[in-house]
Amino acid sequence: MLRRALALAVAGAATAGPASQGLGTLPAWPRTPRTVIVRAVDVSTTRYRFVPADVRVQLGDTVRWLQTATTPHNVEFKQIPSGANLGSQRVGPYLVAPGQTYQLVVDGRFAEGVYRYVCTPHAASGMVGTITVAGSSN
């Protein structure tokens, strides 16, 4: 009973709109950061991929690369937007055993835009990816 009354009250407030209640604009709920997993995959002995190759994130999210094979893979950012400063994290460590991970929190070092990255030794084999950092949509 209480649940139904609460649901009706919330629905009524949503349809009435803030102006009719004299409340002004209601604040948005804070967005919960998420973790995006990108797998380093050996498709064959000569073809390697990041899966998914292209991801979209927001500030506060984490991108985690997961090694799924024994061929060494890493992450090297080749192109970053103006204003970004990844410093020493522009090139990540080699992951050499299944289950190893490398991760980056998308924080103040990142600017909005597209980040293009490769696995250093396997870029020519097609192991490339992008991270698009979008503005917050709280």
Tens-digit pLDDT profile for residues 46-94: 999 999 999 999 999 999 999 999 999 999 999 999 999 999 999 999 9
Domain of 119, CATH number, reads: 2.60.40.420
Q: How many domains does the chain have?
A: 1
Helices (H), 17-135: 18-21
Q: From CA 80, how far away is CA 46, in angstroms rounded? A: 27
- For 21-30, what is the mean pLDDT? 65
Is 5 inside any structural domain? Answer: no
Q: From CA 43, how far away is CA 95, in angstroms rounded? A: 17
Is 87 inside any structural domain? Answer: yes
pTM as predicted: 0.77
Is 14 inside any structural domain? Answer: no
Range of the domain at 44: 28-134
pLDDT for residue 10 is more than 50: no
Residue indicated by tokens 């990255």: 117
